[in-house]
Chain A
Amino acid sequence: MKLQDDVVTLAHGAGGKASRALVEQVFLPELDNPLLAPLADAALLDVKGTRLAFTTDSFVVRPLFFPGGDIGSLAVNGTVNDLAVSGARPLALSAGLVIEEGFPVADLRRIAASLARAAATAGVAVAAGDTKVVERGSADGVFVNTSGVGVVAPRVQLGPERVQPGDRVLVSGPIGDHGIAVLAARGDLKLELDLVSDCASVLRPAQRLLALGDAVRVMRDPTRGGLATTLNELATGVSIVLDEQALPVRPAVQGACEILGLDPLYIANEGKIVAIVAPEVADAARAALGRRAVVIGEVRAHDPGLVLLDTAVGGTRVVDMLVGDPLPRIC
């Protein structure tokens, strides 16, 4: 997709095709280097034989507090998860906060406590921090950036290039919980859902999965753009065929999507892993990813580059990357 816009629109922030065009055509040409080029969840740095994973992420969610989490837990888990699915064990995080003039200190305390709690759960320290205050109207409450470093064990080898026809695709639990929970929390839809965000660290299941060794090809956390966008990034040189009936979706998410014309495949998750593994370890991988994990599809050699869906009624269709932005400011 060619970037033809004169100004940035919200579509460039949605995590789909437009976001990718912005990164690839504005930043990559200027910053181009072998560490950045793969555009993976984290860059891998070699320091005297030790591989360090390094990542950063900014969080602008609205509302700041939502069922199942808040911007503090989201900022820690988002960065921990980027490290975890890169095969790393997190060493330390940084947190930078941009705070709008007039923001209640009590809310800031809640966010700080939440940052600390999420970091403790993931077993990682927030080792560096920064605060900036901007004039009222120059930010929406609080924006948080977190960066993280982690160590990748020597035996770990992950990457989309390792995916082979016949491999199985798994997801660690129901999809779309975060995006729909935040949408409902905004209140403008007057949706009352029995649903909380899945915002959580995926470090433990990721580490259990890594214990299966070489048979684990690649892991991702399907955040902005949802499962569909993540899988499209992994389907290079192969196709991924999903089984619609196997996709785990909670009734509250399915119901909200039916009403609003959304597709759970494009809704953000903040505590899920999508993994591609060799067929012989599919059962073990399912056990490693937790009791809600399921095999949702298979890697095939035909139609390279496409993600396809075998529909519940027996048809087949293409699952494209996210194009527009159904839900702004969810992370």
Chain B
Amino acid sequence: MKFVDEYRDRTRVQSVQRELASLVEPGRTVRVMEVCGGHTHAIYKHGLGELVPPELDFLHGPGCPVCVIPMGRVDDAIALAHQPDVIFTTFGDMMRVPGGKRSLLDAKAAGADVRMVYSPLDALAIAREEPERHVVFFGVGFETTAPATALTLLRARTLGVPNFSVFCNHVTIEPPLRTILEAPDSQVDAFIAPGHVSTIVGTRPYEFIAGQYGKPVVVAAFEPVDILQSAAMILRQLREGRAAVENQYTRVVRRNGNPTALAALAATMELRDTFEWRGLGWIERSGLKLRSAFAEWDAEERFTLPGRRIADPKACSCGKVLVGAAKPWECKVFGTACTPERPLGTCMVSSEGACAAYYAYGRRS
């Protein structure tokens, strides 16, 4: 399959493996954080951890949009789903994410009309087909998914669809990276920056990491050859004593991103003063809300939500895992009280979470 096979080619992988071996300094560990859950998933799915030299250590970052939604917001979503005449629409991977007690899957089993969609436009289509009911779309994700929500809002306004709203939980990529860099126990030497987010935002938002913190950043695609090549680009920067933002995903990502998508985002959404992240706590100017011009389509304006804050479970070490200060298996509830079937902490809730990926693909005696 074009655009897949060539990036899973064993000969190419072996050639990058040799390059990596030549770039590490024996005995000196380099800790590279892949920010995006898609990268974490790919690293485990393809077994890349054992293909790199022991001196190269992958740390798994906070870029799983499903994992970082706080439990209180999931409870708000469940409350919305239980409103009379509401059809609550969501991406499939939010269905199993637990709130304080229950998930949307449980809400569906209890009678709420919860439907899985693949795009917010599908949710808008449901609203037009069922004008007597109100359709809420659960907007989650970084700048990757936020533009689709933005375009849907613009279309809802153009078409004048009154029975549609968005429960906006979109977040932005830059603030959590700053939080990780400022964390006292953070051990990150360099970043593999998220490929899909960067197709929208470009490579410029990462320039502060190289400029202010002196750490290399490489924007990477998601196939094995891509991830290993990015690691080699990072090692080369470190060896040459440089810190820059480089782009491995040149087949898609441009420095200025996607101006059309960014314009749609700017037209419909603005930064909240602060937003809570599971595992990372409150981060200033990190979450997006709908602009007041779109209040008519804002579920938070149209409905009264419980808005209760629920603290992360004390037993889990998600906060440490998310900043790269601990590995999944070092958490004392990993695989016992916290499993993909019954997740306690943020990193276990989606298949892209570090703990879930390790549990599903990495576990061996």
Contact = CB atoms under 8 A, between A and B. Distances in A.
Interface of A: 1, 4-5, 7-11, 17-18, 188-189, 251, 254-255, 258, 260, 303, 306, 308-309, 311-320, 323-324, 326
Nearest to A304: B365
B224 A7 contact: no
B270 interface: no
B13 to A, nearest CB: 4
A11 B340 CA distance: 12
B50 interface: yes
Contact of B10 (A7, A309, A313, A316): A313
B201 to A, nearest CB: 22
A311 B110 contact: no
B361 A317 contact: yes
Contacts of A255: 1
Interface residues of B, number: 38
Interface string B34-67: 0000000000111111110000000000000000
Given A255-B1, A316-B50, 14 more contacts: A1-B341, A7-B106, A9-B105, A10-B109, A189-B118, A308-B364, A309-B47, A311-B47, A312-B10, A313-B46, A315-B48, A315-B51, A317-B47, A318-B363
A179 to B, nearest CB: 15
A262 B317 CA distance: 28
A306 B364 contact: yes
A323 B351 CA distance: 10
Contacts of B8: 312-313
A10 B95 CA distance: 11
A318 B106 contact: no
Interface string B88-117: 000010011000000001101110000000
A303 B363 CA distance: 10
Interface in B315-340: 339-340
A188 B122 contact: yes
Contacts of A260: 118
A10 B110 CA distance: 12
A326 to B, nearest CB: 8
B122 A10 contact: no
B308 interface: no
Interface of B: 1, 4, 8-10, 13-14, 44-51, 92, 95-96, 105-106, 108-110, 118, 122, 224-225, 339-342, 359-365
A315 B50 contact: yes
A317 B341 contact: no
Given A7-B110, A255-B1, A323-B341, A313 B105 contact: no
Contact of B48 (A189, A254, A313, A318): A313
A320 to B, nearest CB: 5
B224 A9 contact: no
Contacts of B50: 315-316
Contact of A315 (B47, B92, B340): B47
A303 B365 contact: yes
Contacts of A9: 105-106, 108-109
Nearest to A315: B47
B13 A318 contact: no
A182 to B, nearest CB: 15
A308 B360 CA distance: 11
B47 A5 contact: no
B51 A314 contact: yes
A11 B105 contact: yes
Contacts of B122: 188
Contacts of B118: 188-189, 260
Contact of B49 (A1, A7, A303, A315): A315
B13 A314 contact: yes
B364 A303 contact: yes
A285 B135 CA distance: 54
22 contacts: A1-B339, A9-B109, A11-B105, A251-B1, A306-B363, A312-B8, A312-B46, A313-B9, A313-B46, A314-B51, A315-B47, A315-B49, A316-B47, A317-B44, A317-B45, A318-B361, A318-B362, A320-B360, A323-B341, A324-B95, A324-B96, A326-B92
